[in-house]
């Protein structure tokens, strides 16, 4: 593809982009190929080209990172949660392609906690303890279940979670051969961290607001 300098030196714009065979539908190619990108007077077209390229560069800078992209989807999934304590969402990805999503809530065909109340609240169970005393299915578990239902392999996948997984989910994640877990918020479960460390699963804290990444394990 010709450079901006090539365009400036050319006496004609006809055919300059005919041989572009990569990203033919990209914003850049469309903008540079459009009649509006260059005035009819070739002596004044270079500032317009530079302005177009600058605007496109600014647009590219505003794109979310892959981590931001998938974590925002996890937070969107969390809005479907019916848990009274904590709304959690998860997105399972491989090669930057979404395999499945999940949020925490009651199993299919079972009444929601919003309808009958929270079992853990009634029994006064603290966060991070006695996970079996809960009617709900965790977001991570639902993401894995959906991948299985749809016949998608989880091997080598990456899981994005709004909250750090508990020890039960950690065991499932390990056996699903997921290699990296991104979480936005902490959850008090030391056993989960120990399991991830021993199994060689990366646990990464991702701050959606700042984009900062901190490797926990």
Of 42-56, 93-107, 128-142, which gets the smallest average pLDDT? 42-56
- The Cα 84–Cα 90 span in angstroms is 17
Q: What is the pTM of this model?
A: 0.73
145, 169 contact by CB (below 8 A): no
Mean of the per-residue pLDDT values of the chain: 84
* pLDDT at residue 133, as a whole number: 87
* Dist CA 62 CA 81 (whole Å): 30
Q: How does DSSP classify residue 38?
A: S
Residues annotated as catalytic are 140
CA distance 71 to 69: 6
The proportion of the chain whose per-residue pLDDT surpasses 70, expressed as a percent, equals 72
Residue 105 has pLDDT above 90, yes or no: yes
User: Which range, 26-35, 128-137, 155-164, has the best average confidence (pLDDT)?
Assistant: 155-164
Q: What's the confidence (pLDDT) of residue 108?
A: 95
Q: What is the pLDDT of residue 19?
A: 47
Q: Helix, strand, coil proportions of the chain in percent (round to 5)?
A: 40, 15, 45
Q: Which two tokens stand for residue 113?
A: 């906690």
Alpha helices in 79-138 (DSSP H): 113-116, 119-123
Q: Who's near 42: CB < 8 A, 6+ residues apart?
A: 10, 11, 12, 13
Distances in Å between the Cα of 146 and the Cα atoms of 28, 48, 140, 210 are 37, 50, 10, 31
State what percent of residues in the chain have pLDDT above 90.
63
Burial of 158 (0-12, 13-18, 19+ CB in 10 A): buried
pLDDT digits (tens, 9 = 90+) for 14-31: 454 444 444 455 555 555
User: pLDDT-derived band of residue 209, with 50, 70 and 90 as boundaries?
Assistant: confident
């Amino acid at each position: 593809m010709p450079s901006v300098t090539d365009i400036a030196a050319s006496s004609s714009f006809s055919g300059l982009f005919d041989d572009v065979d990569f990203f033919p539908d990209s914003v850049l190619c469309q903008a540079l190929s459009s009649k509006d990108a260059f005035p009819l007077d070739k002596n004044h077209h270079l500032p317009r080209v530079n302005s177009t390229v600058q605007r496109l560069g600014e647009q590219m800078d505003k794109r979310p990172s892959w981590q931001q992209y998938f974590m925002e989807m996890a937070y969107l999934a969390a809005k479907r949660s019916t848990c009274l304590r904590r709304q959690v969402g998860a997105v399972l990805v491989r090669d930057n392609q979404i395999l499945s999503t999940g949020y925490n809530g009651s199993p299919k065909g079972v009444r929601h906690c919003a309808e009958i109340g929270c079992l853990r609240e009634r029994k006064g169970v603290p966060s991070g303890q006695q996970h079996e005393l809960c009617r709900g299915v965790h977001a991570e578990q639902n993401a894995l279940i959906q991948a299985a239902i749809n016949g998608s392999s989880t091997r080598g996948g990456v899981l994005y979670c709004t909250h750090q997984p508990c020890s039960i989910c950690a065991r499932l994640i390990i056996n699903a051969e997921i290699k990296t877990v991104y979480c936005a918020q902490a959850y008090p479960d030391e056993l989960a961290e120990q399991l991830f460390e021993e199994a060689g699963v990366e646990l990464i804290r991702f701050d959606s607001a700042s984009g900062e990444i901190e490797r926990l394990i």
